[in-house]
Amino acid sequence: MPSDIAPLNIICLATYFKGVDFIRECKKLGAHVVLITKEKMLKEDWPRESLDEVFALPNDAGPPLFIDLVSFLAKQKKPDRIVALEEFDVMTAALVREHFCMPGMSSSIAKTFRDKMAMAISAAAAGVRIPEFVPLINLEEVKEFMERIPPPWIIKPRSDVSAIGILRVNTPEEVWTVIEDRNSRDNLRERASYYLLAKFIPGEVFHIDSIVDDGRAQFVGANRYGRPPLEVAHGGGAYISRSVAHGSENEKKLFALNRKLIKGLKLERGAAHAEFIKSDADGEFYFLEIAARVGGAYIAEVLEAATGINLWREWARMEAREDSRQEQTARAGEDLTGLQSSRSKGGSRKLKPARKEYAGIVLSLSKQETPDTSAYDDPEIVYRVKKHHHAGLIVRSPKLERVEELLTQYAARFADDFIAVVPPLEKAE
């Protein structure tokens, strides 16, 4: 990069330990990278060699404190990008951008990726099927819903992630009890209006992970859970996710639905993780939720094993790009090879062709603090999870049948070797 062009100043918000590959790639591409996290995460294994500055805010810090810190930093070096690496930072990042009148996702769009009611309304408007639902606000509407839609139902918080805070209920009495309990809480954001009552749809759950640029998905990967995350959260056992068969009807339908979602929810740039359930009753796909982030539970590693595409690094390459600087760099004769992707004629980046293999993960809480998976020695194993009280293996094969065979075997063995069960969280810690 020519010396007269200052590096992009990318400020990453991460209140949980996420995005190590994103940070490293931004630094590799010459960016000035700042991390703002919270005190509880400061001792995590952040890639400090790739960080120019690290700041930790109090654990209860809200958006105004983030805005104030970025304002302090901007006195010396103006931010070029504000990036949320974790779900809970998406709205905060949007508010920081708006404070500085910076481009990127606004708070109104961020809300559709954080509020399950807003995202469901937007998905339906985009032509995607959704399970029928009602917010726990107007009691007459709730009563009418329960009379019209037979149980079981799901009560879920509008803004939490994964299966946190989700309850399965079977009677109106249970619903009224939950409403009464929530409305008696001191924390206003835990009251009933922040929850939805939705139709429970039995079926297989799929997730679609994308890298989006200029409003279009440049990469999409489809995976299927072994058991629905809600079932794993409440019943314990191993979490499993594996690739969907390439070219299958399931993959084609999911990709089409994902395109509708990306357009309907107006995501212009970044990562997206969407979940759908294929109903046992009618075979149709129903939208569950979407997040403007890379999927958790080592989804990025599974997709990289199958396709050769790393979601974090590709996202970083988009954020670290600035068109005018690339043009100046090109004119200066800089070598831009090795970035694995290039600009298309339309202005968006074109990723390298994805490898057409299959991968999957088996993951569980472990009784041991540092579980030993060395007894699992099949050559298809490409990644071993290294996290306290977690056991996990990722496998890769040209054949989906082999991936499924290994994951089934490992899930049974994990039950004897590792699995620990803890009560599901009511809210994120």
Q: Tell me how far apart the alpha carbons of residues 409 and 394 are, in angstroms, rounded to a whole number.
A: 13
What confidence score (pLDDT) does residue 234 get? 57
Taking residues 174-198, what's their average pLDDT? 96
Q: Is the pLDDT of residue 263 over 50?
A: yes
**How large a percentage of the chain has pLDDT more than 70?**
89
Q: Which CATH architecture has domain 9-104?
A: 3-Layer(aba) Sandwich (3.40)
- Model confidence pLDDT, tens digit, residues 294-345: 999 999 999 999 999 999 999 999 999 765 344 334 433 443 333 334 444 4
Res 232: pLDDT: 74
More confidently predicted of 199 and 335 = 199
CB 172 within 8 A of CB 131: no
Its pTM stands at 0.89
132-199, which class in CATH? Answer: alpha beta
User: CA distances (Å), 294 to each of 142, 144, 174, 202, 379, in order?
Assistant: 34, 38, 35, 26, 27
For 182, what's the count of Cα atoms within 13 Å in the CB-facing half-sphere? 23
Predicted confidence (pLDDT) per residue in 203-246, tens digit: 999 999 999 999 999 999 999 999 877 777 656 779 999 999 99
Q: In this structure, what are the phi and psi dihedrals at residue 302, rounded to the nearest 5 degrees?
A: -65, -45
Tell the residue number behind the tokens 């606004």, with chain if given.
Answer: 106
Quickly tell me which residue has 């579980």 as its tokens: 371
Higher pLDDT, 292 or 326: 292
The reported pLDDT for the residue numbered 349 is: 61
Pair of tokens at residue 237: 């056992």
pLDDT score recorded for residue 210 = 97
CB 84 within 8 A of CB 13: yes
420 band by pLDDT with thresholds 50, 70 and 90? confident
Residue 129 has pLDDT above 50, yes or no: yes
Region 100-116 average pLDDT: 95
pLDDT at 266 > cutoff 90? yes
Contact in structure between 309 and 302 (CB atoms under 8 Å): no
Query: Would you state the pLDDT for residue 317?
Result: 95
> How high is the pLDDT of residue 165?
81
- Give the pLDDT score at 335: 38
| pLDDT at position 18 over 50 | yes
Burial annotation 404-423 (CB, 10 A radius, 16+ → b, else e): bebbeebbebbeebbbeeee
**Does residue 1 have a pLDDT over 50?**
no
CA atoms within 13 A on the CB side of 63: 15
DSSP code for 366: B
Whether residue 5 is predicted with pLDDT greater than 70 in this model: the reply is no
Q: Is the pLDDT of residue 156 over 50?
A: yes
CATH superfamily, with its number, for domain 203-309+354-417: ATP-grasp fold, B domain (3.30.470.20)
At position 325, the amino acid (one-letter code) is R
pLDDT at 321: 79
204 to each of 16, 168, 241, 276, 279, how far by Cα in Å?
29, 17, 11, 8, 7
How confident is the model over 346-356, as pLDDT tens digits? 455 667 788 99
DSSP collapsed to 3 states, 16-56: CCCCHHHHHHHHHCCCEEEEEEEHHHCCCCCCHHHCCEEEE
Whether 203-309+354-417 and 132-199 are alike in CATH topology: the answer is no
Asked if residue 262 has pLDDT above 60, the reply is yes
Mean pLDDT of all residues in the chain? 90
Map out the domains of the chain as residue ranges: 9-104, 132-199, 203-309+354-417
pLDDT band for position 428 (50/70/90)? low
pLDDT confidence of residue 173: 98
CB distance 104 to 90 below 8 Å: no
Residues 6 or more apart in contact with residue 384 via CB below 8 angstroms: 373, 392, 393, 394
